[in-house]
Amino acid sequence: MSLVYDNNTCEQAIFTYAFPGQNLNNDNIVFTVKKIVINFKRDFPLLFKDDIKTQGRPKEYYLDELLGFVILWSL
């Protein structure tokens, strides 16, 4: 992430996007949680059957994403 300021106008930060996982080591806890969620989703597919809605507003978060949030939060 880099910040660029323009002195002629008001200061506004310009953020550059980094690709996911670009600045994480391979031994980061995020990859372990991702493996846990993938295995849980594979072993218990019935818990994730309502993940795709056909009617109504689209979901903000998928169930496997929420499970990853809960696992990381509980550490």
Residue 67 lies in a domain: yes
Residue 8 lies in a domain: no
Question: Which DSSP category does 56 fall into?
Answer: S
pLDDT tens digits, residue range 16-26?
555 655 667 77
In terms of residue numbers, what domain contains 66?
A: 29-74
Confidence at residue 58, expressed as pLDDT on a 0 to 100 scale: 72
pLDDT tens digits, residue range 44-70?
988 887 766 677 777 778 888 889 999
Does the model's pTM come out above 0.95? no
Of the two residues 31 and 15, the one the predictor is more confident about is 31
C-alpha to C-alpha distance for 74 and 37, rounded to whole angstroms = 14
- pLDDT at residue 34 is higher than 80: yes
Of the two residues 57 and 11, the one the predictor is more confident about is 57
C-alpha to C-alpha distance for 10 and 37, rounded to whole angstroms = 44
Count of domains forming the chain: 1
